[in-house]
Homo-oligomer: A and B are copies of this chain.
């Protein structure tokens, strides 16, 4: 038993537009002895995710805003280094939502043990086997009702969710999966590593002109991580009865203006389309089915992933901003 110092990143201002370093502070927390039922965890990886930008605003949402002056919460993985809980002995790898810190001390019930998988870092529980993989699975299945033979279009396809969506869609029998990404390198990865049948660089084409070329038979399911011009292009390309899962709208997250929506909303009526937004918190009951399928695909070598890793808790804000700018391929992580 001992005291411990923790470095944590806290939100101090609600950003308008792009967040800056002034919106955050680095706090040093001194933890005392563990109380009964508590554990102390040293994080190995901390997650930075697009949805966190929304939580920095004080707007109504399924997920409550981050509290000002408190540590940014979110996914992280680490190992128990001290324990007053029989359930989580020292050395146990755990997943939790305590967020942007190097060490965290709290009730054992707020941590979930995860398996050590041979040859893989614990970080896979933050993405392909964790929330980002589940987001991709829920969006394709529960929200968009993807069926075998569907043509699937994914925007922001080289991001953590997007790389999972393409691979899961192929495993579930999609006939054709098309992705957009923001660099030639990412586009190449989509087709060579992530099973996309076709991909394009949205910075070099007009998405509305390109999508019907990439999807000559139209799109049945659109998994939207971007919004804006991508959603507009998809509404033009959707087949009758098409389904759109709205997962993110990163193109507008840091906009201070109100951005006009698609100019072709009437297609929703004439083609009988369904658009549905979702926040994973309401779909966690799909996690067991997802884990069973994904663990099997993973073991069969059918699932690839990328990580973009930044070292040091003190660089978490930079990692978050780089991720929002699209600097990452696959999952953006901070390694402690």
Contact = CB atoms under 8 A, between A and B. Distances in A.
Interface of A: 54, 59-63, 227, 231, 240-241, 246-249, 252, 258-279, 282
B272 A263 contact: no
The copy count of this chain in the complex is 2
Contacts of A272: 62, 276-279, 282
A175 to B, nearest CB: 21
Contacts of A241: 282
Contacts of A247: 269
B271 A61 contact: yes
Given A62-B240, A240-B62, A270 B263 contact: no
Contacts of A59: 270
Residue in A249, A262, A272 with the greatest tally of chain B CB atoms within 10 Å: A272
10 contacts: A61-B270, A227-B265, A246-B268, A248-B269, A261-B262, A269-B279, A270-B277, A272-B278, A273-B276, A274-B276
Contacts of A262: 260-261, 265
Given A258-B263, A261-B260, A269 B240 contact: no
Contacts of A249: 265-266, 269
Given A59-B270, A249-B269, A276 B275 contact: yes
Nearest to A235: B261
A229 to B, nearest CB: 12
A232 B61 CA distance: 17
Contact of A265 (B240, B261, B278, B282): B261
Contacts of A266: 227, 249, 252
Contact of A62 (B62, B259, B270, B277): B270
A209 to B, nearest CB: 15
A252 to B, nearest CB: 6
A194 to B, nearest CB: 24
B271 A277 contact: yes
A249 B259 CA distance: 20
A243 to B, nearest CB: 9
A75 to B, nearest CB: 19
A273 B61 CA distance: 11
B274 A231 contact: no
A242 to B, nearest CB: 10
B273 A279 contact: no
A132 to B, nearest CB: 16
A271 B62 contact: yes
A231 B265 contact: yes
Contacts of A282: 241, 272
A263 B260 contact: yes
A325 to B, nearest CB: 19
A235 B271 CA distance: 21
A266 B248 CA distance: 8
